[in-house]
Amino acid sequence: MIVVTGAAGFIGSCLVKKLNDERFFEIVVVDDFSNANKAPNLEGKKFVQQVHRDGLTNWLKQNHRFVQFVFHIGARTDTTEMNKAIFDKLNLNYTKEVWQTCIEFGLPLVYASSAATYGAGECGYDDDHAIVEKLKPLNPYGDSKNDFDKWALKSKTAPYFWAGLKFFNVYGPNEYHKSRMASVIFHAYNQIRENGEVKLFRSHRPDYKDGEQMRDFVYVKDVVDICYFLLHHRRNSGLYNLGSGKARTFLDLVNNIFYALGKEPKVKFIDTPIDIRDKYQYFTEANMSKIRSIGYDQPFQTLEQGVHDYVKNYLVEGKYY
């Protein structure tokens, strides 16, 4: 069996779909299952059991001999949440518990880290273990992910194979439930549908023009392809960036949404809210050479390809992956 935590969420449910497509059906889905808006993410997918996240450790103790792999994708991902105790409980300490359980029963582990660990990018965006202690995340969410990465690297024992994936700006189907934390593409599409225009934050730095702030946007189908690769690879443990490797502007992003819809671009710039202005990232770009060096050779979808697929095949028709 394969265990997937956060399975009712965005990336987790897409991973379950990928596994099903590859003929893996003995999947145990783990989540809290209390958000009814997440339920459609798992409709039509094949799995053998649902386990509440609070019962995962006990379930693994009883069933570990049937488990071949653990994907710990679940996390509290709200970057606007400032209560450190919530992140300590759900991201840091819970992941420590999963890690220790995987060690105890000899289970390989892939867990979700985040590009939020890189903060404003003072140390660059290389998934080099040597810089982890120097990183300065911009919010408690990023702190919680970096705190676990630091703890894992210092740990005297580890699962026989483990990988912490630093997700960059992931977008794609099955994020309907994410509200404010959904991707810019999701929000921009809804703005176009409702108002015929998109609002973007204007630049508050002289070295960036309005709309030319840049992010590494990565399509969720590429993300789960790498997860699937690691399921079989099981060597070269460590932290790995998971982006497209190519930064693109927000204008590129929204223009591609307009093009996918056959509409002329119409963009309005608004001030970045004061409460996030000093924590706003103007540039992110994953160095993807490390995952390439261990044998992952599949091309990443371009922004144009990913946006077209997401908009035309999912958002327009309200479909799930």
pLDDT digits (tens, 9 = 90+) for 226-235: 999 999 999 9
Tell me the percentage of the chain whose pLDDT exceeds 90: 88
Query: Is residue 85 over pLDDT 80?
Result: no
Cα 96 from Cα 118, distance rounded (Å): 21
Q: Which H or E run contains 240?
A: strand 238-242
End-to-end CA distance of the chain: 22
Among 67-81, 92-106, 144-158, 198-212, the range scoring the smallest mean pLDDT is 67-81
Q: How far is CA 39 from the centre of its chain?
A: 19
Domains of the chain: which residue ranges?
2-169+217-244+285-300
CA nearest to 254, candidates 263, 246, 245: 263
Query: Is residue 9 over pLDDT 90?
Result: yes
Cα 64 from Cα 71, distance rounded (Å): 14
Decide if 208 is catalytic.
no
CA distances from 73 to 100, 111, 114, 153 (A): 16, 6, 11, 19
Cα 204 from Cα 293, distance rounded (Å): 38
What digits encode the pLDDT tens for the residues 179-194?
888 999 999 999 999 9
Query: Is residue 176 over pLDDT 90?
Result: yes
- What would the mean pLDDT of 50-62 be, rounded to a whole number? 96
Fold of 2-169+217-244+285-300: Rossmann fold (3.40.50)
Of 141, 171, 189, 310, the catalytic one is: 141
Decide if 178 is catalytic.
yes
- What would the mean pLDDT of 272-297 be, rounded to a whole number? 92
Whole-number pLDDT of residue 84: 76
Cα 30 from Cα 73, distance rounded (Å): 10
CA distances from 313 to 14, 20, 316 (A): 15, 19, 7
Whole-number pLDDT of residue 19: 98
Query: Is residue 79 over pLDDT 70?
Result: no
65 contacts: CB under 8 Å, gap ≥ 6:
105
Query: Is residue 15 over pLDDT 80?
Result: yes
Cα 115 from Cα 149, distance rounded (Å): 12
Main-chain phi, psi angles of 167, to 5 degrees = -65, 130
Whole-number pLDDT of residue 75: 80
Whole-number pLDDT of residue 81: 64
What digits encode the pLDDT tens for the residues 219-255?
999 999 999 999 999 999 999 999 999 999 999 999 9
Whole-number pLDDT of residue 80: 63
Q: How confident is the model at residue 78 (pLDDT cuts 50, 70, 90)?
A: low
Of 178, 199, 279, 290, the catalytic one is: 178
CB 91 within 8 A of CB 148: yes
Whole-number pLDDT of residue 318: 94
- What would the mean pLDDT of 198-206 be, rounded to a whole number? 94
What digits encode the pLDDT tens for the residues 102-143?
999 999 999 999 999 999 899 999 999 999 999 999 888 889
